[in-house]
Amino acid sequence: MNVGLSRKEHGGQREILPSLQARLDCRAGMATTTAGVAGGFVQGNLAILPEKLASAFHRFCQLNPKPCPIIGMSDVGDPRIPALGLDLDIRTDLPRYRVWRDGEVAEEPTDIMAHWRGDLVAFVIGCSYSFEEALMTDGLPIRHVERKLRVPMYRTNIACQRAGPFAGPMVVSMRPFRPADAIRAVLITSRFPAVHGAPVHLGHPHSIGIADIGKPDYGDPVPVEADEIPVFWACGVTPQAVISAAKLPFAVTHAPGMMLVTDLQNKQLAVL
Amino acid sequence: MNVGLSRKEHGGQREILPSLQARLDCRAGMATTTAGVAGGFVQGNLAILPEKLASAFHRFCQLNPKPCPIIGMSDVGDPRIPALGLDLDIRTDLPRYRVWRDGEVAEEPTDIMAHWRGDLVAFVIGCSYSFEEALMTDGLPIRHVERKLRVPMYRTNIACQRAGPFAGPMVVSMRPFRPADAIRAVLITSRFPAVHGAPVHLGHPHSIGIADIGKPDYGDPVPVEADEIPVFWACGVTPQAVISAAKLPFAVTHAPGMMLVTDLQNKQLAVL
């Protein structure tokens, strides 16, 4: 690992970006959630696949940009993604990984040095942390953040476009808002297409196959008050669910809540 | 009236804009709705007040830009608004007017030549026809248009900011959409702040004081299907309702559905 070099590249220890510091901490063994780490910097979901499956997965993301917006991608066999951080090493810079074999989690290591191969391709996919920052900056309350819970997520009846072995339902995250705030949230998140963009649904959970809003498939339940409406965004858990369902011989993802912290800033993702 | 001059200004009869033609038709006695007239051109709500009340009304519009977006305004005593049409004469160019005395409709003449005075100021306020065109161009279905009805409008419990004698509740118009279309409609109409902009509410009519969505205060009822949500925009009927409630000795507005057709194009109002 080239920690010393990275420090030099970034202009000495006093100028280390919070995002680089987070990656350095991961390299040094930090294995806790990245929620709240390096405020203002883009965090991403990770998917690593062998080259022969990577092109189909790339096409899956292309066909399903709302749940799977690619913000960075490695070359074949290259663990670096310089566009997301000059020193970034995808094998070591996340707190914890999931190694998948035949659709099951085989291991949850804190680095994947032992698993890296010359045929692997890494995809980094946008995450809702970025647009949540924009919502909070605007003064909108986010229930699960206020209550220190994980965002509730649901499998829907919205089918993703298939590509090779990759297929399945879109997973969505839900945040309840009062109606005027919901309208504002639509506008704000539409500025961030690289991190899921505008919502895909609001108001009628059953229309998208959610039988009980109180029982999310992932994350924690949060209440929706009588004067609120649930607003649903495409979620970066979708590609993980799809990879799991494809029962691939080998794949690597991040562990839940253990994201890649990049040197991109959330505000750089705004299109307007 | 200077019809001959107007034709000349616009480069001869063969080049008359559809909007000018509509105004010429009004001058010649046309007294039917302007709905569907001069597609692509901005139509406006009209309010004419004596100078001593005009400044308070202007401030009311300033304080309540969602229901009262001013797209044009005359000088005191001047019946022209060149920014909306070089030849435009506010005394003759609408199909029908309402002359208000002490909060009641006293007359509905087809011109106001006999009522014009040197102390009057005319305000032209944006109208939802402009954003409806943008919604339909995007392929979104608008129920009341499909059914050839007037849009349903409701008095709400949202209080406008008071200015002088002008005060009262915001009036909103309602269009039902399926959720994904509702999100799209929020985004599209946000591009048109000069014609009410993004919705003010969606999903919970009772939250804004609407007891029965099937009983609008103005316009016609339209059904909201089980998989749809009602979306509410601030409405240009608000200033009329406020003028009526103020029981002014004298005011003039357009008659319902009988708008001013301007030479502005709807697409010119888009901010992005």
Give B165-217 pLDDT, tens digit per residue: 999 999 999 999 999 999 999 999 999 999 999 999 999 999 999 999 999 99
Residue B271 in domain: no
In the sheet that B153-159 helps form, which strands lie side by side, from edge to edge?
B153-159, B169-177, B229-234, B201-202
Q: What percent of chain B has pLDDT over 90?
A: 91
pLDDT for B13 equals: 54
Q: Give the bridge partners for B231, in sequence order.
A: B175, B202
Residues B256 and B212 in one domain: no
Quote the number of domains for chain A: 2
Q: In this predicted complex, what is the ipTM?
A: 0.76
Residue A85 in domain: yes
Give residue B68's pLDDT band: very low, low, confident or very high (50, 70, 90).
very high
Residue B272 in domain: no
Residues A220 and A247 in one domain: no
pLDDT for A15 equals: 80
Residues B13 and B113 in one domain: yes
Residue of B nearest to A202 (CA): B179
- The first and second tokens of residue A166, run together, are 């990759």
Query: Is B229 close to A203, i.e. CB distance below 8 A?
Result: yes
Q: Determine the 3-state secondary structure of B10 from DSSP.
A: coil
pLDDT at B8 over 60: no
Give residue B271's pLDDT band: very low, low, confident or very high (50, 70, 90).
confident
pLDDT values of chain A reduced to their tens digit, one per residue, 272 residues: 333 344 445 555 568 999 999 999 999 999 999 998 999 999 999 999 999 999 999 999 999 999 999 999 999 999 999 999 999 999 999 999 999 999 999 999 999 999 999 999 999 999 999 999 999 999 999 999 999 999 999 999 999 999 999 999 999 999 999 999 999 999 999 999 999 999 999 999 999 999 999 999 999 999 999 999 999 999 999 999 999 999 999 999 999 999 999 999 999 999 87
Residue A272 in domain: no
pLDDT for A120 equals: 97
Residue B151 in domain: yes
Q: What is the DSSP string of chain A?
A: --HHHHHHHTTSGGG--HHHHHHHHHHTT--S--TTSSTTEEEEEEEEEEHHHHHHHHHHHHH-TTT--EEEEPPTT----GGG-TT--TTTSSS-EEEEETTEEEE--S--TTT--TTEEEEEEE-THHHHHHHHHTT---HHHHTT-PPPEEEEEEEPPPBTTB--EEEEEEEEE-HHHHHHHHHHHHT-GGGT-S-SEES-GGGGT-S-TTS-SBS------TT-EEEEEE-THHHHHHHHHTT-S-EEEEPTT-PEEEEEEGGGG---
Enumerate chain A positions whose Cβ falls within 8 A of a Cβ in B: 178-180, 182-183, 186-187, 190, 198-204, 207, 227, 229, 272
pLDDT for A8 equals: 45
Residues A113 and A46 in one domain: yes
Residue A167 in domain: yes
Residues B161 and B65 in one domain: no
Residue of B nearest to A225 (CA): B204
A-chain residues within 8 Å CB-CB of B190? Answer: 187
Residue A44 in domain: yes
Give residue B139's pLDDT band: very low, low, confident or very high (50, 70, 90).
very high
Query: Is B202 close to A272, i.e. CB distance below 8 A?
Result: no
pLDDT for B272 equals: 75
Residues A104 and A230 in one domain: no
The CATH number of residue B36's host domain is 3.40.1640.10
d(CA B231, CA B251): 31
d(CA B241, CA A230): 33
Residues A25 and A115 in one domain: yes
pLDDT for B15 equals: 80
Domain that holds residue B10: 3-127+248-266
Q: Full-prediction pTM beyond 0.80? A: yes
Tens digits of per-residue pLDDT, B13-45? 568 999 999 999 999 999 999 998 999 999 999
The CATH number of residue A221's host domain is 3.30.2040.10
